[in-house]
Amino acid sequence: MEKKLMSGNEAIAYGAYLGRVRVAAAYPGTPSPEILENLVTYPGVYAEWAPNEKVAVDVAAGAAYAGRRALAAMKHVGLNVAADSLFYTSYTGMQAGLVIITCDDPAMHSSQNEQDNRHYARFAKVPMLEPSYSEEAKQFTKLAFDISEAFDTPVLVRSTTRISHSESIVQMEEPPSPTWEELPPYKRDPVKYVMVPANARRRHPIIEERLGKLAAYFEGLDINRIEMGDPALGIVTSGVSYQHAREVFPEASFLKLGTVWPLPVNKIREFASRVKRVVVIEELDPFLEEQLRLIGVECTGKKIFPILGEFNSGLVRDCARRGGLIAGEAAQEAAATAPSPPLAAELPPRPPMLCPGCAHRGMFYVLQHYKAVVLGDIGCYTLGAAPPLLALHTCGCMGASIGVAHGVDKAGCKDRKVAVIGDSTFFHAGIPPLIDVVYNKGATTVIVLDNRITAMTGHQDHPGSGRTLAKEPTVDIKIEDVARAVGFQKVDVVDPLDFKATRAIVKEHLESNEPSLIVARHPCVLYAREFKKPYQIDPEKCNDCGICRRIGCAPLIRADGKMAIDQLLCIGCGFCAQICGRKAITQVA
Ligand SMILES: Cc1ncc(C[n+]2csc(CCOP(=O)(O)OP(=O)(O)O)c2C)c(N)n1
């Protein structure tokens, strides 16, 4: 069979396919979306975007209860949303394999926090596998289904940004049959599946016993392997840290853990007894280090390697040198090969900004003019918080804007409260707080920035986009209909690139005292590829007032001491022309 270059996410999808997954559900979140985008292309696999991660795990759990192998995938914070479901599935177990992929994001390349989801495995008492490169991502995902069925447990597979997005070689295998096996009759077993206290109490000891059995099984599993080298230094590691550590310490002995929970305690002790000094190299929290200490293995870890951010081989080498792990000749050699300076030092800073022509900008420009408290949310539109727009005052996690606005309202703040939320975020977690506002007689104005797609994570469909993950047409749930259905009386739809109309509607809503909702609808320019002729500035008419600069659109530049429009960047949305009082901006003929 041939070999192929695959990213970790492609390999996870391929491994799930080889593992005969039948049903998969996910909510996109960097660095995870490509898993489902790939999985949906395989024959014999049903895959869907769920409105959020909890729903994704519930859908996968249902399929696994019914007897089909199932998978749910998400980014690290997605597991916070799905945690309730992770915990009940840990108790119930299932009929067919259930695998949950968590893609963590050390260094927060695209996340609101840095969180180490290995803790979830321990917390929810389920096993976790952690691949170090694409071939393992394939193998471990496939294996996870077998483990899930053998031990009646959901299995977590943890990736990180570097594993998910780097490509390495994967061995292709015989494809499984695309034909779905006949489903066994649905097993009605309330004592196992109805988690009322009496039944859950019976399940808890079974879960504790299961962990013991898993630990014993992991002792003999070859994905936890000892690679003996120089016994002077023994490195315990897993995931991407294994690759960095291998590069920096080619001679050392390694215990490479493929299962990070439960830990193969005997194997760890055996390894420790065969080396002089144990060092743990792991990104983020001292998860392995603390466990090693608990079982009485003396080791060093976070004293040398940072708890913050992402590792690379240069950083591991630097820390190792400072921590005295590279000594004598090796230190001189390492010193001679000075670490490459961090890339960031060589590049000019490029703060993220809204794309040229992004319709979100229109609403933020209008909002700037009001003394409202603007509670933000997560998506491309979070960039409205950046200068020069400076239009958002908070941003916590997906769906938080509306509830936070309602809290500010109930606290008695006199300013008008405005929650700004994206369309995908609205369907993800915006509906329950919307209900809270009307139910509890709040007076928040909710503005849904509806660009018809989940733009931030790479244009995934959602319940309001009219298409499924497989790109089939489906019901297009209208946000304004949802708002009216839950009791909002004042609901309007506006195109945020129509400056005058947007200004009028926002003014009207902010002056009212009732809960209200505006859908600011304009398709994402990058997705709709809505590129028109660019605009230009007439230097004779321009008086350099600077108003156009306040929208923070990249094509608006200064050239030869005057305002100008970069013709290559401008996509012709025309918003700047609408706000120019001197009519100095016109479209190129
Ligand atoms: C719990 C959780 N899941 C996923 C993400 C990743 N994520 C951040 S914003 C976002 C949705 C953005 O789409 P939308 O609300 O439509 O706004 P847009 O980017 O299109 O402006 C997603 C999926 C996250 N931050 N948190």
The CATH homologous superfamily of the domain defined by 3-220? Thiamin diphosphate (ThDP)-binding fold, Pyr/PP domains (3.40.50.970)
The burial class, CB within 10 Å (0-12 / 13-18 / 19+), for 28 is buried
What is the atom index within ligand 1 of the atom nearest the CA of 111? 25
CATH number of 225-330: 3.40.50.920
Instruction: Give the distance (Å) from ligand 1 centre to CA of residue 37.
Output: 16
Give the tens place of pLDDT for each residue, 403-430.
Answer: 999 999 999 999 999 999 999 999 999 9
What is the 3-state composition of the chain as percent helix, strand, coil, each rounded to the nearest 5? 40, 20, 40
Of all protein residues, the one whose alpha carbon is nearest to atom 15 of ligand 1 is: 422
Residue range 337-349, pLDDT digits in tens: 555 555 556 778 8
- 109: tokens are 């390349």
Q: Is the CB of 81 under 6 A from ligand 1?
A: yes
Give the per-residue pLDDT at 530: 86
Locus of tokens 């001292």: 286
Centroid of ligand 1 to alpha carbon of 477 (angstroms): 18
Backbone conformation region of residue 125, classed left if phi is above 0, alpha if psi is from -120 to 50, else beta: left
**Model pLDDT, residue 349:** 80
Give the pLDDT confidence score for residue 348 in this predicted structure.
Answer: 81
pLDDT band at 67 (very low <50, low <70, confident <90, very high): very high
Residues 6+ apart with CB under 8 A from 205: none
* Residue ranges of the chain that CATH labels 3.40.50.970: 3-220, 360-528
Q: Which residues contact 478 (CB under 8 A, 6 or more apart)?
A: 464
User: Residue with the nearest Cα to atom 2 of ligand 1?
Assistant: 78
Query: What DSSP state is assigned to residue 394?
Result: B
| Domain 360-528 top-level CATH class | alpha beta
Once rounded to an integer, what is the mean pLDDT over residues 385-397?
A: 96
Task: Give the distance from CA 96 to its chain's centroid.
Answer: 26
Which token pair is 401?
């804007």
275 with 250: CB under 8 angstroms?
Answer: no
**CA 77 / ligand 1 centre spacing (Å):** 11
Q: Where in the chain is the domain with CATH 3.30.70.20?
A: 535-587
Q: Is the dihedral of CA 437, 475, 34, 383 positive or negative?
A: negative
Contact 59, 25 (CB under 8 A): yes
Whether 464 lines ligand 1, by a CB cut-off of 6 Å, is no
Residues of the chain with CATH 3.40.50.920: 225-330
Give the pLDDT confidence of 262-316 residue by residue, as tens digits.
999 999 999 999 999 999 999 999 999 999 999 999 999 999 999 999 999 999 9
| Percent of the chain predicted with pLDDT > 90 | 95
| Inter-residue contact 158 to 260 (CB < 8 Å) | yes
pLDDT of residue 386: 94
**Ligand 1 near 430 CB (within 6 A):** no
Average pLDDT over residues 37-60: 98
Question: Residue 49: which H helix or E strand, with range?
Answer: strand 46-49
Q: How far apart are CA 228 and CA 160, in angstroms?
A: 26
> Tell me, what amino acid is at 373?
V
Identify the band that residue 357 occupies on the pLDDT scale cut at 50, 70 and 90. very high
Residue 423 Cβ < 6 Å to ligand 1: yes
The pLDDT value given to residue 335: 55
Cα 425 to middle of ligand 1, angstroms:
6
Residue 379 Cβ < 6 Å to ligand 1: yes
Total-model pTM: 0.95
- Name which of 52, 109, 38, 114 is nearest 84 in CA terms: 52
Considering only CA atoms, which residue is closest to atom 4 of ligand 1?
A: 29
Rama region for 303: left / alpha / beta (φ>0; ψ in -120 to 50; rest): alpha
Do 266 and 252 form a contact (C-beta atoms < 8 A)? no
The pLDDT tens digits of the residues spanning 77-131 come to: 999 999 999 999 999 999 999 999 999 999 999 999 999 999 999 999 999 999 9
Region of 81 on the Ramachandran plot (φ > 0 left; ψ -120 to 50 alpha; else beta): alpha
Q: Which CATH number fits domain 535-587: 3.40.50.2300, 3.30.70.20, 3.30.365.10, 3.40.50.150?
A: 3.30.70.20
Higher pLDDT pick, 49 / 371: 49
